[in-house]
Structure 1
């Protein structure tokens, strides 16, 4: 699993039947800033993930990829490689709060 921020959405009117009705979001992976380890920073990449929980733009989410993305009841029959499995409330590293959804 890893942390990402939702930066947009994808609309696809032509797709395989099993994907009909599934929300697709553009996500940007984040990592712990290396120098001070007190904030999250973008990795500079983006990709598309299936949203199973109702995440929205600007939210930080938990992502799982690969075969693990197809291990939820909602995704077990989908041809996907990435899925949003949680919305993040807080992140603490070395007793420091590096992210708080309410700030």
Structure 2
């Protein structure tokens, strides 16, 4: 799992099977100091995250299993909206 900040949205008129009615958001991964790290990720969002929110994303097979479609092309999904976190 990764911590990230939602920085934008993606709109598409054509999608592969298994991605119908899927909201896509652009997420910038963050480190524990809330600094940007790595490349942006386009993640499926079914929980209602919005631009500016800190989220938890999962990637790979765990993300794909969140869809009802077998062999869905999803490789990242938002699985939580972070209210706060603390690092000591």
Structure-2-length-normalised TM-score: 0.89
Match of 1:7 in 2: 7
Match of 2:61 in 1: 67
Which one has more relative contact order, counting CA pairs under 8 Å at least 6 apart?
Answer: 2
More strand per residue: 1 or 2? Answer: 1
SS at match of 1:18: coil
Give RMSD over aligned pairs: 1.2
Q: Aligned pairs, how many?
A: 86
Q: How does 1:10-49 map to 2 (within 5 A)?
A: 10-32=10-32, 39-49=33-43
Per-residue deviation at 1:17? 3.3
Q: Which runs of 4+ in 1 moved over 4 A?
A: none
Per-residue deviation at 1:68? 1.1
Structure-1-length-normalised TM-score: 0.77
